[in-house]
Each structure stands twice: as C-alpha cells, then as structure tokens.
Copies of this chain bind each other. A is one copy, B any other.
Amino acid sequence: MQEILNKTYKRIKSDLGKGKVADYIPELAKVNPKQFAMSLVTIHGEEYNVGCFDKRFSIQSISKVIVLAMAMEIVKEKLWQRVGREPSGSAFNSLVQLESEDGKPRNPFINAGAIVTTDVVVESCLDPYKLILDFVRKNSKSYDVNFDKAVVKSEALYAQRNTALAYFMQSFGNLNSNVKKVLDVYFHHCSLAMSTLELSRLFLFLANKGINPLTDTKVMNPRYVKRINAIMMTCGLYDSAGDFAYRVGLPAKSGVGGGIVSILPGEFVLSVWSPSLNHSGNSYIGTKALEQFSRLSGKSIF
C-alpha cells in the first residue's frame, strides 16, 4: 500500500499547482496551491501517508457528509421527505432545481440540501456547534480539531447566495429554525480545519458498517452507512459524479478547499488534499491521484 501511495505521488508530482485555487473567499484564495497529502487508513487501523498528511486545511463541503450522517441518525428515513437523493445535474448552489421541485433540494450534497440537514441538526439540540465538534473530535481522535474562525467570518461576508437559498426554502416551508442561525452553523461546519489523516480516521465508520474501529464504538446504523455511500457515489462530486465514478470508482465527497474523501467499503478510507481545483470545483490533483491509485492498486467497487 505504502508503495502504491508513493508511486501515485510520483506520477502527479509534476502536475502540482495545475488548476485554480478557490477564490470566492479570501481565506481560501491565499492557500499555496502546490501542497499535497494523501492518507489511507484501513478498517484494521493501518495507516499509510504521503505528503503533508498532518497539515490541516478547510474541509468545506466534506462537512456535508458529517451533517448528513448526524441528520440520518436523528430523523432516520423521514429525512427524505425534506431532501431528495438524486444527482442534480446542476451547479452546487443552483436555485433552478429548487424552484421546479417546490423547495426540496435534489440531494444532501448540494448547498440547499446541506442547509436542510444542518437545520435538522440545529432543531435537535441546544448547542449544534458542540454536537458537531464532539462528533468530529471523537471519531477522528483529534481533540483539538476546531472551526477556523477566519474562514467562518469570510464565508459570512460572501453569504448572499446561501442566504437566498435558505429564504427560498423557507418560502416553501422547508426550513424550520431561524435562517441566520442555520446559516451560522452551516458556515461553521464548512470551516472545520482537518488533515487528510484526521479525515480518513473520522470516516472509518463508513467503510466498517457503522462502527469506528479506532474507538470501537457504533457511530451509526449499518443500513444507513450503505445508504450514505450510495449517495456519495451518485452525488458526491458536484456535477461530475459520473466522470469520477468512471475514472475512480469509489464513493467520495469533495470540498472546494481541495480535499476529497473516498471510501472502499470493507477495506479503507482514502483521503487526499491538493488545493487547486478543476472546472467542476473538485481538486485537480486530488482527482488525478485517486485515479492513479485506483489504476495502480486495482481497488474500486466495480
């Protein structure tokens, strides 16, 4: 495994920096684009790394998997009355689909859908910030993981589109808590700063039928685990889920911070980070690295 990671790194090295760093908020725009990290953690606890695997970055949309997992444990299958699970065919922050489908987001991985899952978490408790931090810290076994306050602030300043989405869903009766509060929690979890190693540890329960093998605790119902993987497969990579399935063949979720988490059920979690993005908003090098890894290792779900 370590050898395959090393080989993968070699193959993508010369391309480092290609693509374009996200620039919609200053905090992301100023990241050095040439960084790279990859961490594979098996369900038996073996860990393999290359690059700056302990450097934290903004996980952004990868946090949508966290709130989806939390929301499913809270309201179970009732979640699907408020959010769909089909690929969207449109941009991650589009309002078009919402309008023609009466305020029900197409899936939990577009912004509108993650605002709904965040609303579920907000409704369920007094302190959603703490609930989310506890979940992340416990499962990654990194007790100092935190929100990046500078990123939160930055997000809030460029929040009009997400604010529009939230009010729009509220106009259809699909947002229960206060709009400002839900958006604040949403901006917080998007701004979580974590390393690839921490991400791979955190999501081990998705490769291991709901049980985190590091802490030996049941994180969620195994039935729901299968379902989250299915949604990652069909909706995890914005509007290039099909292309990613074709090239990589693993359920995965990306973020505009340049991170991608992928799962091979029954085997491992493989996280990668490199900040420059392709035109679909996924890490340019990260996607390439996962494709190389899949080719070199023969590992995929297909």
Contact = CB atoms under 8 A, between A and B. Distances in A.
Interface of A: 84-90, 94-100, 106-107, 160-161, 163-168, 170-171, 225-227, 229-231, 233-235, 239-243, 245-246, 249, 251, 265, 300-302
Contact of A229 (B100, B161, B165, B302): B302
Given A229-B302, A233-B233, A245-B230, A95 B99 contact: yes
Main SS class of interface, A? helix
9 contacts: A86-B241, A87-B234, A95-B96, A107-B242, A160-B170, A167-B167, A229-B302, A233-B302, A265-B301
Contact of A90 (B89, B243, B245): B89
A160 B164 contact: no
Q: Oligomeric state, in number of copies?
A: 4
Nearest to A168: B164
Contact of A245 (B225, B234, B243): B234
A252 B235 CA distance: 17
Given A90-B89, A242-B107, A245-B230, A164 B167 contact: yes
Contacts of A229: 249, 302
Contact of A234 (B107, B168, B234, B301): B234
Nearest to A206: B302
A89 B243 CA distance: 15
Contacts of A94: 99
Contacts of A89: 86-90, 97, 106
A86 B87 CA distance: 9
Contacts of A241: 86-87, 234
Contacts of A164: 95, 163-168, 171
Given A168-B160, A226-B300, A302-B230, A87 B87 contact: yes
Contacts of A88: 89
A85 B246 contact: yes
Contacts of A249: 226, 229-230
A37 B242 CA distance: 31
Contacts of A300: 226
A115 to B, nearest CB: 12
A88 B239 CA distance: 10
Contacts of A86: 87, 89, 239-243
Nearest to A96: B96
A144 B84 CA distance: 44
A243 B227 CA distance: 10
Nearest to A263: B302
Contacts of A225: 302
Given A168-B160, A170-B160, A85 B243 contact: yes
